[in-house]
Structure formats: structure tokens, C-alpha cells
Amino acid sequence: MKQLLIFILFVLISISHTFAQTGSIEIKNDHYGIVDTKSKKLIANYIYEDIEIVHGTGYLVMKNEKIGLLNKSGKVIFDCVYVEINPLLDNPNYVIVENVNNSLSVYSIKDKKFIFSKFTADMRNTLCGPYDEFTGTITKTIITVTKNGKSGILELPSKIILPIEYDEIIACESKRGVVIMKKNNKYRFYNLKNKQLLSPAFEVNGDEKNLPIQNGACYAESTDFFPAKIKGKWGLMNMNGKFKIPPKFDKIRISPYVTGKNAFTVVYLQNKWFTHNYGKMKPFNIDYFLGFWYNYAVIMKNEKVLFYNTKEVKLIEIKLKNQNDSKIKALSKNGSFGVVSYKSKLILDFEYQHIEISKGLIFAKNNNKYALLNAEGKALTTHKYDEIRMGWASDQTLIIKQYGKYGLMSFEGIVIIKPKYTFISNFVNGKASAKLYKTEFEIDTKGNKIN
């Protein structure tokens, strides 16, 4: 039986005698049953492939690789029809059952009914707060649930903490109980511990990568500020909704490489650019602000790409940190992407839908199709692929997608395997999983089957 998923809500020192099982698990003819330890009577026949005791609830049993549940007396609560059954150690009256379609439901053994049904959740990750500062443990089991395409937060077994009406629950941080909620492309911070909204509804520049999130957890403190858009204007806001720079600008850019008081910030207002030193604005005589590259602000002036050293506050030629750094970078202008080099050269003009750069190669999207270009901007293919991504750098292999099928291509744009697979995974140690309809196998970077 695969390892059953148990939610541990606190350090369990001892188990009450009230919840103790009276049966012992026995095996006969390679099948398991349960024998009452006092009467020695068989209370569950030898028909199961595996049995596991769940203290206070009963027994998890497996038959035909499906999971069922017996009570402490061996009586069937659920036949073996579920993919998984997850008991709650803090309340043995409830279990969570999982169907073959990954649908979850909470069942009350006492009431003999489902009390919260047909939702999905990542059962491996209980969410945040309320938090016990003394023991360092989560005192309630709280999970993000999704139902009918909307997400909310549930305190097991059935208490709704946040209504199931959000497009996504972005992140959670256990100690402070902070979540970021998304609805209609706007975000809000909410503290589960104090049950308080921490911020007004705001937008971010582009996507969630601009939110204060690392590894699925909100790391922002009250002293951390980030660009936020409210009612069509940009400012610098912290997660408590307080602004360091009020939301009154058409555009705002802050260096991701230098934080705190030294963060270089640029704002755009009434068709003019300014540097902003948190209260002191100075005209920034440029045509367009493209973005940041280390400690350099990348700007356009007189149709030329220039670098502005944010530490020395002057225009200067960029210096890469080490020889392995990319010598080209994708930047955007008015929503379109281009590529510049560290030598102030415009490699690709700002006319693409999207651009990704990997190992000195450019994957450029136009008319919803990707083309492969080299670091000098020379086209190695036409715009005909639905997707191009890095396969295995050591063997200079790319994964391509065309007409819904996957194939392989070299760094020079030469097709190694024409797109014919229904799927190719990322390569690991020169091997990838490939799927041709229902047949799965491994391939090497030349497309040869390994097994």
C-alpha cells in the first residue's frame, strides 16, 4: 500500500485508550484479516492486500489496489473503491476520501454523511496559521481548496475561512498566516491569523513573479515595498497596504538588484520620466526606460540603447559579473519585446510578442509562433513552432512543438526528430520521457529509444 497521507497537527505524545483498536492484523494465504484480541474471533475476513491501523478511527484496507475503511469493530464504512483515504489525527470522526478523478470529500463517520464534497486540494501542503508561537506548530489544519474552477480556504473538516470565489490563492506563509488572493486579475493580502485584510485590491506589473513570493511563500515584511497599481496608477506599497510612493504615476520601475533605501526607482508622469528618491523627484532625460540589468538601468535615448549605472549615477558601459553571464537580455517596450547586448547594441527591435533567452539562443514569438535565433539575432528557423524550450544543454538539444506534437532540434536549428510524439518531458542526465499515444518510453538527445 502506498504511504497514506496523514495530517499531523500537533506532537502526539500518547493515544487515548478510548480510541485504541481491539483487533490485531493477521495474515493468511498472503491476505490480511483482523482478529479481535480478546475473543479471538475474526472480525474482518482474510480478503485484503494490506491493512493499516488508524488509531481512533478504524482500519484502512486495500483490495484490488483501492482503499476502503473499516470501523474499530471491523464493520465496513467504505468499500475498497477509493484512491486514498486520509484520516485526521486531531479528530478521528472525520476522513477525507479521494476518488479516481482526484475529487476529494470530507466524511463524518458519526453522522454517516459527507459534509463537504467534490473539491480538489494539495493534501501534502497544509496552509498557514493560526500559529502557535510557543510550540512552533500549526494548531488548525487549513488548506486551499478548489471547486468549480474557484479557490478558497477551508479549515478541516468543513469550516470556510475564505469563500470559494477567488481565481487563485497565490501563496501562504505559515508563521504570520499571510495569503495572497487573486480575483479578476487583482490581488489582496489577507492575514488568516488575525482575519484581517492587509491591503486594498491591487495589480502588478506583468505577472505573479513581481509579487513578493519565494518558493510558494510570501516573504514580504512590513518594511518591504513593491510596485502596485490601484485605480490605474502606480506606487510602491507594502503588504499592509501602506505606500512609500503614493499611487499617482503612469509607470514605475524599481531595481530588483538593490533594495531598501538604495533602491533605484524611476517613475513616469505626464509623458516624462523622473528618478524618485522617495520624496525627491528629478527629471530623467531619456526617451524610454527599458528595465534593469544588474546595477544598470537600461534606457533608450536618441534611438540608442544606453546603460545607466545606478550606483555611480552616470552613463557607462556595462560590465558583466562573470564570463558565464548572458551577453544578451530580453527587455520590453510598450508591451513588445526586443533583445539588447551588453555592448549597447539593439539585437532585435521591439516588435515581438514574447522572447526567452537560454544559453545564448533566442526563442522569439510572433503571430503566436516561435522562431529560433542566435545571439546575433540571425534567424535559424521561421516562426512556425508552438513552443521551443531547452532540452539538454550539454548535447545542444532543444524540444520543439508543432501541430500539437513534440520533436527535437539542434542549437543550429536543424531538426533531429520531426514532431511526432504526443509529449516529451524535460531531459535529466541526457534522458527524457516520451509518449507516443499511449506508449511511454525514454529517449536520448538524438531521439533514440533507450527502453
Domain residue limits, the chain = 1-124, 134-224
Cα gap 410→391, rounded to integer Å:
9
Decide if 178 contacts 170 (C-beta within 8 A).
no
pLDDT tens digit sequence for 330-355? 999 988 999 999 888 999 999 999 99
pLDDT above 70 coverage of the chain, percent: 84
Of the candidates 255, 287, 261, 259, the residue with the CA atom closest to the CA atom of residue 273: 287
Yes or no: is domain 1-124 CATH 2.20.110? no
pLDDT at 299 over 90: yes
- What is the full DSSP assignment across 121-189? E-TT-----SEETTTTEESS-EEEEEETTEEEEEETTTEEEEEEEESEEEEEETTTTEEEEEETTEEEE
pLDDT tens digit sequence for 225-255? 889 999 999 999 988 899 999 999 999 998 8
Give the cell for residue 69. 475503511
Of the candidates 146, 107, 143, the residue with the CA atom closest to the CA atom of residue 127: 143
pLDDT at 412 over 70: yes
Beta strands 150-155; 159-166: pairing state: antiparallel
Cα gap 348→353, rounded to integer Å:
12
pLDDT, position 8: 28
Q: How confident is the model at residue 3 (pLDDT cuts 50, 70, 90)?
A: very low
Give the cell for residue 292. 534593469
Q: Which residues of 426-450 are buried (b: 16+ CB within 10 A; e: fewer)?
A: ebeeeebebeeeeeeeebbbebeee
| Average pLDDT rounded to a whole number, residues 250-279 | 86
Helix (H, G, I), strand (E, B) or coil at 419: strand
Highest average pLDDT, of 205-219, 273-287, 410-424, comes from 410-424
pLDDT at 451 over 70: no
| Average pLDDT rounded to a whole number, residues 413-422 | 94
Instruction: Please provide the distance, in angstroms rounded to a whole number, between the alpha carbons at the two ends of the chain.
Output: 27
Decide if 354 contacts 365 (C-beta within 8 A).
yes
Lowest mean pLDDT among 99-113, 366-380, 437-451: 437-451
pLDDT tens digit sequence for 120-151? 987 766 665 444 444 444 456 788 899 999 99
